[in-house]
Structure 1
């Protein structure tokens, strides 16, 4: 396949440069991450509870740093967000720069 058959290149997926001299880029955007879309429960899948596991339902606040185009169309977001353990432990894992499907990222105006 020639480069002309691939379609136009998509740019603008990196955070916008604010100050090139000092290497400053725009701040991450505040978003919600829909954990249910990241880890869906499929019909007929047996439910198995693990009291030491992380919650993978609901919305959690996240920080979107950039968008990445998918080869066959669509977008993935690079997002950082925190999970919570079911048993209430305080050492919640902070997931940094995760590649998340665009359908799991929602605009967040307020906390």
Structure 2
């Protein structure tokens, strides 16, 4: 697990420390933009990189430009609807694709 200077921790040294996970939504449409004029070739077993999926934010980093990036765990589903998902851990994503989940 990536430990950022802005990671919040819970627990103690005796019982163990673990990062605080903040529930977020990850907007895949913004994270994986597709040009409107790109030709489409549907692969039924491909990943569905559209919509919004739940994630767990556990780290934050600022860029030199002042933009913020999060370290997020999230899952991407397959287009054919199977239950298995691609589990993505410690992904570095811009904050503009994240929204706090209540």
Q: Work out whether 1:67 is the aligned partner of 2:75.
A: no
Quick check: which has more Rg, 1 or 2? Answer: 1
User: Unaligned regions of 5+ residues in structure 1, if any?
Assistant: 1-10
Residue in 1 that maps onto 2:36: 43
Shift of 1:18: 4.2
Residue in 2 that maps onto 1:82: 75
Superposed, 1:47-58 pairs within 5 Å as 47-58=40-51
**Higher fraction of strand:** 2
Normalization by structure 1: what TM-score?
0.78
Match of residue 92, structure 1, among 73, 81, 85: 85
Normalization by structure 2: what TM-score?
0.84
Q: Higher relative contact order by CA 8 Å / sep ≥ 6: 1 or 2? A: 2
Question: In structure 2, how many angstroms separate the alpha carbons of the residues matched to 1:47 and 1:71?
Answer: 37
Question: In structure 2, how many angstroms separate the alpha carbons of the residues matched to 1:12 and 1:42?
Answer: 35
Q: Would you say how many aligned residue pairs link Structure 1 and Structure 2?
A: 99
Question: In structure 1, how many angstroms separate the alpha carbons of the residues matched to 2:57 and 2:99?
Answer: 10
Question: In structure 1, how many angstroms separate the alpha carbons of the residues matched to 2:52 and 2:16?
Answer: 32
User: Unaligned regions of 5+ residues in structure 2, if any?
Assistant: none
